Every structure is written in structure tokens, then in C-alpha cells.
Amino acid sequence: MTRDPRYDILFEPVRIGPVTARNRFFQVAHCNGFGWTAPQALAEMRGVKAEGGWAVVTTEEVEIHPSSDCEPYHEGRLYSDEDIPALALMAEAVHFHGSLAAIEIMHHGPSAANRQTREVPLGPSHRPVTLNDPVQARRMDKDDIKALRKWHRDAAIRSKRAGFDIVYVYAGHELGIPMHFLARRLNDRTDEYGGSLENRARLLRELVEDAKDAVGDTCAVAVRLAVDELMGDYGITSDGEGRDVIAMMAELPDLWDVNVSSWYNDSATSRFKKEGYQEDYIRFVKSLTSKPVVGVGRYTSPDKMVSLIKGGVLDFIGAARPSIADPFLPRKIEEGRLDDIRECIGCNMCVTSDFTMTNLRCTQNPTMGEEWRRGWHPERIAAKASENSVLVVGAGPAGLEAALSAARRGYEVHLAEASTELGGRVALEAKLPGLNEWIRVRDWRVGQLTPMTNVTIYRDSLLSADDVTGFGAGHVVLATGSTWRRDGVGREHGFAVRGFDHPNVFTPNDILEGRMPDGPVVVFDDDHYYMAGVIAEKCAAAGLATTYVTPALQPSDFTSNTLEATHIAKRLVKLGIKLFTRAAVTGFDGAEAEVTDHLSEQSYRIAAKGLVTVTARWPNDALHESVKELMARGAAPHIVSLKRIGDCHAPSTIQAAVAAGHRWARELDDPQASPYFPRELPKAPSLKRFWG
């Protein structure tokens, strides 16, 4: 295939100060759970992005000094020359594929508690740190500001030595210390670094000037600025001081990287924000500067990208999450393979890696984070290792991925689905409020499978154990999903709850299949992810008086890791849903639900004709047990392997199901397959250090 000429503009080179990007695709900074702890994995992951056509590939935030320590979160570090080799690995990997390497050096200021280094946090004012730690930042004096400028300058020089082409000055998300100086609510100084906007912007200007003086001969200097904090007049706004900062420094940096703040607004999920949602806030920037501008908006449509360039909104299409979902997105546009683009679904499972300090993961792209330790590549997979055919039972996310990856290896694949619709839980859940973009998990895989000549898909095919053993496939993988429990057993309750056998008790399966309560409803969330929240939304939208009860500290508690918790709580309140946290449903009689408060230990009666219990799930593994029993009796000796994957093995997230299907296919016919993988271990010091 060849590129559609409509997209030629996306592949024009763009000058950024002393360097040139080969096209307009810019992977902006994003966290990943690796940071300074896994430099080889980090370099391999970023290198794949460059291979996929991203002209600029950026690090995550890189701390420049021990007084900017955000542990336990694993970000980059550039404290001293000792940190240069680890970061140089990434720059080298990016350069190998002809792209520019950018580094986002920064100082957290009052947004870090310095838990590991135990240094006193620094800030423009005497204020508590923005984390929940009982720690306060110290107001920086002139010597502190001078020292900060030196740390930043030294980090810029080290960045150049490490091979980076673009060096950032970071002022966004209420994280970088220049943003703390810029914000009136955070800066109560009365000296030349406080008061007027010109004074509050002084530190940002000085850091940019210092960086340009230190490395500007060969490195571009970029500024990342949150031009709107979405706080109205209480914060920086795009029609106020955000605009004014751009205007007063318009030509100073070599590139402007602009977005909104805070992170939960900037990286909002598709449940709350759609593609391009930041445009109204950043549209003004190019009217004030001749320097190139990059912005983000979870863009996956090349037509939309072209309109942004031609419309004078952006010079670069910035991306974090779309570059994770498909590292080869630019190359696929360039090669005219638009149908092959694996579009981001905006679920933010990638973000959870930062909060949980684990390797990066993605619902759409199961290879993400596994490039180094497992050797997985998003576009390449080993050829089949035998002539055995494959039978996949169940066309949910795990089954679809297993079938596709096995087929890409060259196996003859047969995919059997009990219903007439492919997609399993994804097909159902995508119909819930705000989750419609999740259908991309199914649609991309079905779109890839459909034209493959070595794949046969059987719909409306409920297979028995005899059907499976008699099919003749050498490899059988069962992806038959799971079913939500009705008895209330889960994290909170270890035994069936009184009254949960009432006919007016509903599970998420009932709601997904169209069965709804017909009166006031209580939703009991002991799952803590998105399901109970979207069901509560659905009930409220149907006009039902809805009460939400959870033992957790907040609704959909796990979604703190996906940046959704605040959005979800606001949505539920706006819909008039009554919220009970730190509480549990302890009984139901068809007319009222008994709710017990964990703190007061008192019980309340809430009118409810229906109860939706969102607790635990049963793996649908009966078929596996039946087939296994037949094989034990000597039936189907032709079956080389039998395995469960996804929710029928252990119910989890859609991301985990996709990853399980992919791993099964990768390890098919591999006698060396193992749960162990390479780890990046610190070098052990000599005992002479301790014992002489």
C-alpha cells in the first residue's frame, strides 16, 4: 500500500531550533512504571516507538536533584553523572531508528515529599506538599533559587552528554516547580519572584534562558506549559494568565508543548472526554508565536490530525496514550494501512502502571512493557513451530487476541463463539454509559481476523466437551469468560448475604443483558473498579432513584489509578445518586436494603425494590474441567495442549484478558516457555565496603 496524499502534510520535516524532526508525530512525555529502576526496558520501549515512526520520542519526567524525589513512583533521574549511561540507552535506541530523543528534566518542588531521600521539599511559599504526607515545603530563598537554576543547567548539560536532542523546561500539572511559582494561589512571595505575573514567571524564563545558554547550540529547548488548569479564575486560564505567559515568552523556547492541568484532566478517559477535547484551550497558542507547537488530545484519526495542522492549531501531533496503543501508528498512516491502526480506547490502564509502580501495560497493545523482558514486538511474532491446528473457544477479548496472534504465527485457527455476536464482555460493556470506545478492542481484532485465510470463525456455536475433543485440533484454548456472583460474596463478605437470593437481586450480567429493576435501586460496589459506577449511571438515567454503597473510601476506588475517581464521584453526585462509602449492604428483603456503616457500626434501612450486587465473579470453567476429564480417560490423544485463558481462568480486567490471549499464542509449542523473565538487578557491592 502507499500513503494517501491527503496525509502528506503529516510527514513534512519540521525544524525545532537547531534540530529537525523528520515528520509531525511527537511522542510527548509519559510515565511508564520503569523510570530509573529499569533503564533497559525503558530504552527498548521507547526505541520501538521510534521504529514505528514517531519523529520525536520523549522520556517521562526526569528528576534533577534529591530534593525532587517522588518515590515510590518510578520516574527518571538525572541527579549526577552516574545517571547519564542509563538515560543514554534510551537516546541511543531512539537515534537508531532516525528519531529525535527528548528529555523532560524537572524539579517537583512542593509536589514531592522526598520520601526516599529525606530532603526538605522546596517551593515558592511555606505550604504543605500536594501529596497527603504530613510534610511541608520550605519557602525558597535567593540562594535556593540560584541553586535550583544551577541544578537545572547541570541537568541540561548532562542531557546533552547523554545524547538528547531536545531538553524540556517543565511547567505543567502542578508538578514542575515553575508552575508553583506561576500560580497565584501557590505563590505568596513579595519579592521579584512573586506578585505580578511577570515576577511569577521569572523563574520559568530564567530556566529557559539558562538551558538555551548551556545547550542551545545543538539541542532544542522546549517548554511544557499547562495553559489552563480548569479552575476558572482560581487558577491559570487559557484566556487569562496562560495566554499571557505564552505572549510574554513567545519566541524564547524552540518549541511549545501545551496542555491542560491537572493530570486527571489532561489524560481524561474516553468515559469523560472525547478525541480533541483540549483544542479549545490551546487553539490560541500559534497565533502568539512563530515557534512550533505540540499538543495532545488522544488523536487516532489521521483526518483529524491533518485538520489540526492545516487549521493552524498545531505543528506536531502529540501523543502519549495513542503511541502506547499503537507504537506504529505513524508508519501505518505513511504506508496507507489505516485499518491496521490499533486505536487507543482511553481506558487509562497505562496510567495504572505509574501509580502501582509496575511495568507499562495497555488494553489494546499486549506487547507494551514486554519489549525487553519478554522480547515481544507489536508488529512481529515468531512463525509457527508445528503443524498443529488451533481451536479457540470463546470470542471475547482473550479469545480474539489468542486467535489473532496464533493466526499471525501461521497456525490454522478455528474460533468458536456461543453467541451470534463476537466480543464477549467487551461487546456488552461497550453499551454502558461512556464506554462506547471500548468496542475498539473487539472491532480491531475482528477486522484483522476477517480477511485471514487461515482463520475460520463459527458463530452461534456452543460447544460441548465431546465437540471439543472430537474437533481434531492439536491445541485447544478455552476463553469462556466469567459470570458475576449473585450471593454477595467478595472482598467484604466471605459468606452469602441474607436476602441476596431474592428475585429482585440483579448482577451486572442481568443489567448487561437488558434486565433492569423497576423501582428504587441500591448498587453495592465491592468490585471497586468501573462496573458499579456505570451501572449506577445507567439506573439513574432510566429514572430510578439510585443509591450507591461501597466499603471503599470512595466510589470506584481503584479508578484513582486511572485518573477517574474524581470525575466518577462528580458524575454520580450530579445525577442525584446517594453515596455511602465505608459501608456495606448486609441484607435485602425485596423492599429495603440493610446498609451497615463501618465507622458507626450502625445499620440503616434504605427503600429498594432492586439490588445490584457487584462483587466477585465465577470463572466459567466447566467446559475446561469436562474436556480435561475426557482427556484423562484417553479421549482425544491428538490434543497436544489444553489451556484456559482470561476470565475463565481467573476473572480480571479486559487488559489482563487480552494479555493472557497474546501470551498463550506467543508461547504455543515453545518448550522453553516459563513464568520467569529477565530482571534488571542492581549490582551488588563488594563486602569490603562493610567489612574492610
pLDDT in tens, 450-481: 999 999 999 999 999 999 999 999 999 999 99
What is the band of 679 on the pLDDT scale with cuts at 50, 70, 90? confident
- Among residues 674, 623, 616, the alpha carbon closest in space to that of 645 is found at 623
The active-site residue out of 165, 254, 266, 354 is 266
Query: Is-catalytic flag, 191?
Result: no
Which 3 state secondary structure label does DSSP give 122?
A: strand
Instruction: Write out pLDDT tens, residues 647-663.
Output: 999 999 999 999 999 99
Cross-strand bridge partners of residue 168: 222
Give the pLDDT score at 185.
95
Task: Look at phi and psi of residue 92 and say left if phi exceeds 0, alpha if psi is from -120 to 50, else beta.
Answer: alpha
The active-site residue out of 173, 475, 493, 567 is 173
Peptide bond into 685 cis (omega under 30): no
* Mean pLDDT in residue range 105-115: 95
Q: What is the DSSP letter of 291?
A: S
Query: Is-catalytic flag, 107?
Result: no
The active-site residue out of 168, 170, 299, 530 is 170
Amino acid, single-letter form, for residue 424: G
218 φ, ψ (degrees, to nearest 5)? -125, -20
Instruction: Write out pLDDT tens, residues 582-638.
Output: 999 999 999 999 999 999 999 999 999 999 999 999 999 999 999 999 999 999 999
Give the pLDDT score at 685.
67
Query: Is-catalytic flag, 7?
Result: no
Q: Which three cell numbers stand for residue 546?
A: 439510585
Instruction: Write out pLDDT tens, residues 328-378.
Output: 999 999 999 999 999 999 999 999 999 999 999 999 999 999 999 999 999
Query: Is-catalytic flag, 170?
Result: yes
Instruction: Give the Cα separation of 21 and 294 in Å (integer).
Output: 12
Q: Identify the structural domains of the chain with CATH numbers, from first to last.
A: 5-356 (3.20.20.70), 390-471+621-636+644-666 (3.40.50.720), 484-618 (3.50.50.60)
Instruction: Give the Cα separation of 675 and 507 in Å (integer).
Output: 34
* Mean pLDDT in residue range 272-281: 95
| Model confidence, pTM | 0.96
Give the pLDDT score at 676.
85
Give the pLDDT score at 514.
95
